[in-house]
Amino acid sequence: MEVILKQDIPNLGYNNEVITVRNGYARNYLIPKGLAVLATPSNRKMSEETLRQKAFKADKERMTAQDLMKKLENLTVKIGAKAAPTGKIYGSVNAIQISEALKEQFGFEVDRKKIFLDGESIKDIGTYSARIILHKEAQVDITFEVFAE
């Protein structure tokens, strides 16, 4: 029996994929639990349209991420922090501060969850790098400079 999966199921298939399973498995488990629907012609058309819309949306997100990646490539972000005379920072610099600095200095909105620092935390004055993963195909390394205020 052919069914269209409504969600990813390990060792079986992915969302909106048409698969062939045994009749009892489909009737007694997949369909009653809402994990799949019968692969009728109308359900197939709906599934194809959903896949087409998802592909269009994913392509649009990828293009937007690549445009932002090109703008971020050669930027140096400056972050001010209170520091001791020895060069140690009171506290640390993290992804939230980098995100805010990108917005203030250049006007780019980057989610803090997409910014990954090389080390655990930045606790000294100096120049560091961070990786921004905008999309699985669009990643960029930026440099940021921490200076004493």
* CATH of residue 15: 3.40.5.10
Assess whether 99 and 142 both reside in one domain.
yes
Q: Alpha carbon of 136 to those of 54, 58, 78, 102: distances in Å?
A: 16, 11, 27, 21
- What confidence score (pLDDT) does residue 41 get? 96
Assess whether 9 and 34 both reside in one domain.
yes
Residue 26, pLDDT above cutoff 90:
yes
Residue 134: domain span? 69-148
Assess whether 50 and 81 both reside in one domain.
no
Residue 72 CA to residue 99 CA, distance in Å, equals 12
* For residues 28-48, average pLDDT: 95
Total domain count, the chain: 2
Write the pLDDT tens digit of every residue in 47-81.
999 989 999 999 999 999 999 999 998 889 999 99
Residue 64 belongs to a domain: no
> Nearest Cα to 59, choosing from 126, 121, 135, 6?
135
| Helices then strands, each counted (H, E), the chain | 3, 9
Residue 16 belongs to a domain: yes
89, 83 in Cβ contact below 8 A? yes
- What confidence score (pLDDT) does residue 87 get? 86
- What confidence score (pLDDT) does residue 136 get? 82
Assess whether 73 and 53 both reside in one domain.
no
pTM: 0.68
Distance linking the first and last C-alpha atoms of the chain: 69
Assess whether 105 and 130 both reside in one domain.
yes
Q: Return mean pLDDT, the chain.
A: 92
